[in-house]
Amino acid sequence: MPRSFLAFTLATLFPLPFLVAGAIFGGWAVWIALFYITLFVAGVDEFVPAMDRDGEAADDEDADLLSLVLVGVHFFLLFLMVWALSGHGTRLFSLDGLALFAATGLFLGQVSNSNAHELIHRGARGLRRAGKWVYISLLFGHHASAHPLVHHTHVATPKDPNSSRMNESFYSFLRRAWVGSFRAGLRAEETRLAQVGIGRWSMRNPYILYAGGAAAMLFASLLIAGWRGVAVHVLLAGFAQIQLMLSDYVQHYGLERRELENGAFEPVDARHSWNAPHWLSSLWMLNAPRHSDHHAHPAKRYTALDVPERGAAPMLPHALPVMACIALYPKLWRKVMNPHAEAWRSV
């Protein structure tokens, strides 16, 4: 088993037993999980030198196996927390419950999202479906269409709702990108179906699956824990969606592709995504912070993604989760990021 694959496994699964114990018993286990996901990961990233080496091409089956394990962990944790936080275990409206909600939401938004993002780019239909259902369970199924069909095509242009603009606050971006990506993904799917003579209301339109699947997931939470369970599910999904949107906001802030004389845009290259070569958060998020290489090679497995050479691509001043926290404070964000963004906009 390649060392990198073992590292990904340990980094992503370490908080799992503490989250489970915290859901059932509360107490110290909750705080260990939250400490690991927040302060420990950030601290290690600050004190361990940034990684410049290339990705390690772990065996494809090993990489996919961890992704499928994480899909199972996602659904187990989601419905366990629906049960627990609705009052059957560690109640939401308690100190332990709020910490458990935060830790779980961060796991769903950073690990489950990164894993689902990985899977919707896989060539195998079963793997793509697994990633799609993770997004559906987070009430964000349209991302499985909008991300590959819109974002990867139009990234760093005004046509991409999920490319954040210079001086745009995260809160303005959140409103614009959520609605914009839903609509753009729907248009892209309708165009794709029309090309083969299929109408928008066909059952082959994935948006029907996204809506029906989300309703089914909420119904499962209703059966598990009643209307409180539905409320917990919606809150967890909303928190996870914010994590996803923060990731998009940070990784493309202020970067633009030049419009050519013929009206097209220059090709996407390494200059159009922010990267973060930090060690532990990269393992934790399945190398999602190696974003330039992902846009260059969307089908490339997470274990093999490379860190761009210094000077070849924008690098965040801190790890991706830390930058996501800074993005919540627009004045501080602009102070930290605008000088870096202005430098790359002039390249």
For 274-332, write each residue's pLDDT tens digit.
999 899 999 999 999 999 999 999 989 999 999 888 888 999 999 999 999 999 999 99
CA 233 to chain centre: 18
| CA atoms of 230 and 212, how far apart (whole Å) | 15
- Residues written for the chain: 347
What percentage of residues in the chain have a pLDDT greater than 70?
Answer: 96
| Helix, strand, coil percent values for the chain (each to nearest 5) | 65, 0, 30
Note the pLDDT tens digit of each residue in 216-233: 999 999 999 999 999 999
pLDDT band at 61 (very low <50, low <70, confident <90, very high): confident
| Beta partners for residue 259, in sequence order | 265
Q: Residue 312: what pLDDT?
A: 87
Q: What are residue 297's phi and psi, to 5 degrees?
A: -135, 75
C-alpha distances (whole Å) from 88 to each of 34, 84, 221, 222 are: 21, 5, 13, 14
Q: Residue 59: what pLDDT?
A: 56
217 within 8 A of 177, measured Cβ to Cβ: no
| CA atoms of 101 and 249, how far apart (whole Å) | 23
pLDDT at residue 171 above 80? yes
Average pLDDT over residues 174-193: 95
CA torsion 329→331→334→335, rounded to 10°?
Answer: -110
pLDDT band at 46 (very low <50, low <70, confident <90, very high): confident
**First-to-last CA distance in the chain?**
41
Out of 25-29, 146-150, 330-334, least confident range: 25-29
78 within 8 A of 116, measured Cβ to Cβ: no
pLDDT, the chain, mean: 92
Note the pLDDT tens digit of each residue in 116-137: 999 999 989 999 999 999 999 9
Q: Residue 120: what pLDDT?
A: 97
Residue for token digits 């990233």?
A: 45
Residues 6+ apart with CB under 8 A from 188: 145, 146, 149, 150
Task: Kindly report the pTM of this predicted structure.
Answer: 0.94
Which residue did the predictor score with more confidence, 197 or 95? 95
Give the three-state DSSP class for 275: strand
| Residue 267 in tokens | 């090709």
Residue 152: which of 257, 302, 308, 287 has the closest Cα? 257
pLDDT band at 202 (very low <50, low <70, confident <90, very high): confident
Average pLDDT over residues 76-94: 89
pLDDT band at 1 (very low <50, low <70, confident <90, very high): very low
